[in-house]
Amino acid sequence: MNIDRATPEELAALREAFAVDDSGESALGWEAVRAFEAEHGVVLPEPYRSFVAEVSDGSFQGPPEYGLVGLAELPSDWGGGEADRELSKPFPLTRGWLWEEDTGPYDDPEAVIDQVHDHGSLVLGTDGCAMNWHLIVSGPHRGHVWHITDVGAMPFGSEFGFTTSEPGFAGWVQHWAAGKEWFDAGSGE
């Protein structure tokens, strides 16, 4: 997973996965992407950065279940406030955490849960019922996709278990485009 440079193969696979959408008409262009990055104090990880600039800014066909939301959007079932989101603050987790089952090593788990939802990630979309997919844009897991629900959070990618696919945005889209179940492997860490 290279989060600093998109490969031609990754971009071709992303174009193919979203070919039925709008043929690139909704792509933001580089000026808009750079303006978003400057406003939020982040540099988007590749290949997502090139995807929204050149291929598409969102998709009704997915992934996830209810489609890929645009760069500056939140899913319709988003429960938090947009003003609370701070993309430049680091995403706090580096391993999965089911806070419904334990408080983890945190003195104030509720504060960390708020950070999981609002710091260092873009919401890619929802599978409904507060099950959202996030792309981490700052912190140690920058470039990884995480599944964040009302009961916990877990990273996507074969290195973490649960799935057989490559990590990152390209691996997540390719997994969806192949018609695989999201969690097609045994339990992870």
Residues 7-17: tens digit of each pLDDT: 999 999 999 99
Owner of token pair 């609002």: 118
Per-residue model confidence (pLDDT) at position 25: 76
- pTM listed for this prediction: 0.92
CA separation for the pair 152, 148 (Å, rounded) = 6
Q: What is the pLDDT of residues 68-89, one digit of tens each?
A: 999 999 888 776 666 678 999 9
Instruction: Return the domain boundaries, the chain.
Output: 8-71+84-177
Domain 8-71+84-177 has CATH 3.40.1580: yes
Nearest CA to 138 among 86, 95, 90? 90
For 175, the enclosing helix (H) or strand (E) is: helix 168-177
